[in-house]
Chain A
């Protein structure tokens, strides 16, 4: 292939190195107002009264709103959310009122003048406690909420979804096992930490048109949610998403937009801007849900995993409109990339008075694999088998059935595993020059499928200009992952034109066509398919005209380097630009009209699984599988862990752009390392103790290990040029690989992230005392 599989320069690179790339925060508009938010100091409280009179009187204040102004709930899968608290506050920091004013300072001062009287309520600060029958109810009206039919809230409890997977006969299978063990793990809340905090601007015109500029991954999903919440028809609601300064899931769904719209509606004609601070970002965007995880594993003497029983309890936070789907995804992937005949999983989404859980790169997979992949190592060691051997025995092969009962049509598990074993030098001990430091190596695998509605759709339009250049329009959102570049390459390949001739336009619901969301590692796959179909549509239309022009059957014509060329008589060719406005004849007449191609994609035969068992023939679009290896060095005196090296190998189907693929792999490993070693949103009685960069540390350049990226390519049958999604899966095996390496170094298991120096030193002391 000419353009697919090539490392072309990122199409957004020049703008980004010159500071010309515009993010929402960079927009300055005439007569713009600035919003600030009044937030709850309590994790759970009844709002007795809100007095906004002093705030309203402050000069420069243009609008003040409270939750009473808009009481309609909304949400992606479960309509449980108000943008401003209504009657009760359910987490510390929840918005109770908001102000729009001439300056941000005046808005802040006005917020300070708002008087709210609360009556504190007992809070749920642990998901396990939240499941107990006597737990305070966070959503007493849960039974009345509108919910997508694949989710099952339990009325009059804090359980907003109970996902069940039932494959085979687990109880019988455990009895047939030679060895059965149960282990528990805990994965705390972490935050995405995009470098750009959330920001949005809303402007409401007198004719009822509402325009929202938002730093979002999902302009169409935002439009839908806001349309429901504020009862605005979709043709009057325009969402524009320019460059986004990192998302990692935090900018999927709606957060900030719902606060400024009611303000904008009260300040007609004037744009209202709300910019989150870093503290807001930690507390009021989304966080990755916490997870309590119990895994019971039964194996046979030969190392075959015969039965698994999982209980996942997710700390969903105050609203789980999006979180329920993570709980589902974690549940249906709960066996990991292994061929296991008997699987029983209960995955619960539990309301707590914690920050709102939402999508985070991996969508539940990073969390469950921290458990699954350590568990494999533990069980292997317990039966005296090398963990790598156990992975070889149980890893999914083509033809095997997943825990959901579908048949694997592609699987690169074993090749990735062997590649990483070789690259990391698994089994070969390396020694530190410092006698107080010890080294170890670990391996972990991971898998992920897009957890999206089975009929999630994508559309693309390709337009040819008079000079043979193109506009490619989709609403796949560039959030740093390189989608603009990958989609351009797919178009260039399909049309056989230089990618430099194609300009991609995205992120405007009035002008760029539908895209469900830029999440689920689906953009290259879904939007990519739509782009390919659009280009094929354009080709078909042009070939119709070209056969007239060239006097040849279209089956003998092809697109080549910007021309329609006869396959046999290659000197018979016409530049594509001649068809830009249709075909013109010598007598002045024409046919065909301007050249435009349309492509729409929904994966066919992608069918929901059975509600009671979780089993289905084809419940997900595809599975992406890969393996990480890690080598660490542990300081025995301080407990500090230095990750020396990380290696990644994934089956990417087809890598559209090797450079951007490798770059994403590197970023994913370092992000995984951050969660493994440093990151935790420290919650105490519902309060976040470290909502800033002083006390929430992400890796710096200094922490970066040596990184090595490999990939294999077993084409995805339904993917564009064989590609499948990789952005999220790449992060999944990193943290457990590090945990396994730490075990290899010091012989201590950590069933909780992050594995801080303090935790390591404590464990080393305990081990020495034994």
Chain B
């Protein structure tokens, strides 16, 4: 069992949901806490970079503001000092807050294991609730995020309480070079992009009719459930609202 920020692992230990023989803390491995950006290489988020550092970083705030907002929407300040972006993805919760901006940004997970290094594009990473394509003996060492000149995005999080809550629904709508991308969390077993919705949006100019059609398609592409946090219907309503608001403000 790998220990990074520990905000999930320690609770699972406490609740006796896991009983690992060993817990390996990776936080002091040199280099894993690196956070660097250049327009040529994009953003590199080391596996041990926590949410406050990611969300507060000048480059992230300038070039990926919606990713910064997503990072800062996670938990409390105390939790964000521990929780990492890599951990947020590896945990593979359907409602991982940083997953939707990274899906839109087509981030790549850098993975290392006994067979050496490999890369997993984020849209091939999530398999199911708490299941990823990461192998048992592999760890994520970092996340690479391409740089998109002039990209804009809107991160939306709807939760029961404004601060320190899990997303009832989270989403990112992004516009780059006139093309739209949309990803949603907590509406399916994994966070996901909405390809049909995006195709519709990218077919022609954004007018009211197109937004209406995109919303309709989005609702067909998600499959939320009723749970203790919200009903399926409310989640569908929020998906429609978040997409609409996102598109309206991106224009």
Contacts and interface: CB of A to CB of B under 8 A. Distances in A.
Direct A–B contact in complex, judged by CB atoms less than 8 Å apart: yes
Interface of A: 637-640, 678, 682, 689-690, 694-695, 697, 699-703, 756-758, 761-762, 765
Contacts, number: 41
Nearest to A758: B234
Contacts of B245: 637
Contact of A702 (B163, B228, B233, B238): B163
Contact of B231 (A637, A640, A758): A758
A703 B160 CA distance: 11
Interface majority SS (helix, strand, loop, mixed), chain A: loop
A357 B81 CA distance: 39
B161 interface: yes
**Nearest 3 CB-CB pairings of A with B:** A702-B163, A758-B234, A697-B161
20 contacts: A637-B245, A638-B241, A682-B228, A690-B228, A694-B166, A695-B228, A697-B160, A700-B162, A700-B163, A700-B164, A701-B163, A702-B162, A703-B162, A703-B163, A757-B158, A757-B160, A758-B234, A761-B234, A761-B237, A762-B234
A703 B164 CA distance: 11
Contacts of A637: 241, 245
Given A697-B160, A762-B233, 19 more contacts: A638-B158, A639-B234, A640-B158, A678-B161, A689-B228, A694-B166, A697-B161, A697-B165, A700-B162, A701-B163, A702-B162, A756-B160, A757-B158, A757-B160, A758-B230, A761-B234, A761-B237, A762-B234, A765-B237
Contacts of A638: 158, 238, 241
Contacts of A678: 160-161
A758 B234 CA distance: 6
A701 B164 CA distance: 11
A701 B162 CA distance: 10
Nearest to B11: A694
B133 to A, nearest CB: 27
Interface of B: 158, 160-166, 228-231, 233-234, 237-238, 241, 245
Most chain A CB inside 10 Å of its own CB: which residue of B158, B160, B165: B160
A637 B158 CA distance: 11
A701 B77 CA distance: 13
Contacts of A758: 230-231, 234
B229 A695 contact: yes
Nearest to B169: A638
B159 to A, nearest CB: 9
A678 B163 CA distance: 13
Contacts of A757: 158, 160, 234
Contacts of B238: 638
A756 B164 CA distance: 17
A638 B164 CA distance: 18
Contacts of B229: 695
A765 B228 CA distance: 21
B161 A703 contact: yes
A640 B166 CA distance: 15
Most chain B CB inside 10 Å of its own CB: which residue of A637, A639, A689, A756: A637
B161 to A, nearest CB: 4
Nearest to A684: B228
A433 to B, nearest CB: 16
